Structure 1
Amino acid sequence: MNSDTGQDPRTFDDLVAEAEAAPTEGWDFSWFEGRATEARPSWRYAESMAHRLAGATASLDIQTGGGEVLASAATLPPLAVATEGWPANVAKATALLHPRGVAVVASPEDAPLPFADAAFDLVTSRHPVKAHFAEIARVLRPGGTYFAQHVGPASVFEVVEYFLGPQPAEVRNARHPERERAEAEAAGLEVADLRVERLRIEFHDIGAVVHFLRKVVWMVPGFTVAAYRPRLRELHERILADGPFVAHSTRHLFDLRKPVVSNR
């Protein structure tokens, strides 16, 4: 920080160049320290997931990213598997999780899960692109659990709509928790718990916005600095004049059960 003005001495071009050079693999968000903040859900997903993993015998983490959340668990089941579809993340997750005894399987997000029926007693996921509940139900054992944190509807849409303009209702309502509840129940899963929260995000410089859009690529599809430079510069000036750009994420926690079918 500039000690005379209190303002960051880096220019728009400096901040953007730094963000463009930053690696985007995995779900490590430490690059944002001091540049952006996001409130966390009250249910503390990583800690709650770790507690579930400690009591499981066979677990599957779907769309594990770089494996960072799964690796944060102190105790893993005797059989632990993770899937990931993006090649760069597959390599990162493999390096991180193999030493912990976790098998990382390269599997496209929209493909059937490459596992036998009733293979796992716990399936987890943090921020899946889409939860395929029929496949989750198929690979769960009777009595097994799907425990996951999902991104909710219109999450960080202040950023999306700044660049893309107002979005139609069907786009804003995608990933709605009640719609996903209905999909889960249609797949034969029972909802033991569903919690929803809306959380404040602050972007303190334009570099944080650029890095976010490069990392979370589905927010503004096809985003490049070159394509959006005028809007980025306008937002940079707005942040300098008015302070952090404020957005809101939406999150929901699913605790689902596969029923035990009585033979009577």
Structure 2
Amino acid sequence: MQHDHRPTEPRRTFEELVAEGAAVPTEGWDFSWFEGRATEARPSWRYAESLAGRLARARAALDIQTGGGEVLDFALGATAHPPGLLAATEGWPPNVAKATALLRPRGVVVVAAPDDAPLPFADGTFDLVCSRHPVQPHWDEIARVLRPGGTYFAQHVGPSSVFELVEYFLGPQSAQVRGARHPDRERAGAQAAGLEVVELRAERLRMEFHDIAAVVHFLRKVIWMVPGFTVEAYEDKLRALHERIEAEGPFVAHSTRHLFDARKPAD
């Protein structure tokens, strides 16, 4: 048996890892950079594949807060019969540019619109409104742009998602903060806007961060987790977490997700 005398790769320093996590671009919702550095279990309902089936049956569809357009692009690529009218909204300028470049070849009109502004479409325009991880669903606007009999189909972030990481940096959060985005509260909001909730499913999913670069990039990308996060402001906590990961293995957290299927009653 021959022995492999190649030197092992030296362990990367805290400074090197943090610099890498701080340098990776954050546009869009492509999480491929995390491969080998962080993992997250996926919900059993497979949102993007399910969305492809919904798009095949729709005549006019709107994707709200499309990010870089990656999820809608995947779903459209998986359906042979896309809707005749396709639109998407996005509020962050770098994502608007990325989504436009990705989705325009698929016939999608990408509209720059702030997340908290009224949707720039006429009443009853769409028979399908969809969204993956909207910051906050604006139920009255969703109901307004849906045609009678139309559907809202979306995957939402649930309550206390990744709060093991949030509370590591920010300390214990109040019950009010931990309960935000609760599916029961969102169900009530949808019903108050006149929508019928056909299905609402929730799951809690394991996440692992294998190095501090993944933590830094995640908090830069998902900016509402630790508002105002910078490496400089949290250097001491980052260094301590790096040492913990090196000594004990991956930092474990849990995301929460829920699937919404709501319908606007037919006239």
Q: Which category describes the TM-score, using the shorter chain as reference length?
A: over 0.9
Q: Which runs of 5+ in 1 are unaligned?
A: none
2:28 alignment counterpart: 26
Distance 1:209 1:159 in 2: 9
Residue 132 of structure 2 is matched in structure 1 by: 126
Cα root mean square deviation, aligned: 1.3
1:137 to 134, 140, 143: 143
The aligned counterpart of 2:11 is 9
Identity, % of aligned positions:
77
- What is the match of residue 50 of structure 1? 52
Specify whether residues 158 and 4 from structure 1 end up closer, same or farther in structure 2 by C-alpha distance, changes over 3 A only.
farther
Query: 2:166 matched to 1:164?
Result: no
Deviations for 1:45-78, whole angstroms, at most 9, x for unmatched residues?
A: 0000011001110000000000000000223211
Distance in 1, matches of 2:187 and 2:73, equals 28
| Residue number in structure 1 paired with 2:265 | 259
CA gap 1:94/1:238 in 2 versus in 1, 3 angstroms: same
Specify the code of the residue in structure 1 equivalent to 2:250: P
- State which of 155, 179, 185 in structure 2 corresponds to 1:179: 185
Give the letter for the 1:159 counterpart.
L
**Does 2:233 correspond to 1:227?**
yes
The separation in 2 between residues aligned to 1:173 and 1:230, in whole angstroms, is 29
Q: Distance in 2 between matches of 1:235 and 1:85?
A: 33
CA distance in 2, matches of 1:83, 1:7: 45
Aligned to 2:250: 244
Counterpart-to-counterpart distance in 2, 1:5 and 1:171: 49
Shift of 1:166: 0.2
| 2:118 aligns with one of 112, 115, 127 | 112
- Aligned residue for 1:226, secondary structure, equals coil
TM-score normalised according to structure 2 size: 0.95
Task: Flag as ranges the 4+ runs of structure 1 deviating above 3 A.
Answer: 3-8
Structure 1 residues 44 and 254: CA distance shift in structure 2, 3 A:
same
SS in 2 for 1:227: coil
1:151 aligns with 2:121: no
Instruction: Give 1:65's match in structure 2, choosing from 64, 67, 85.
Output: 67
Give the deviation of 1:9 after TM superposition. 1.3
Change (3 A) 1:182 1:229: same
TM-score by length of structure 1 reads 0.96
Closer, same or farther: CA 36–256 of 1 in aligned 2, 3 Å: same
Structure 2 unmatched ranges of 5 or more: none
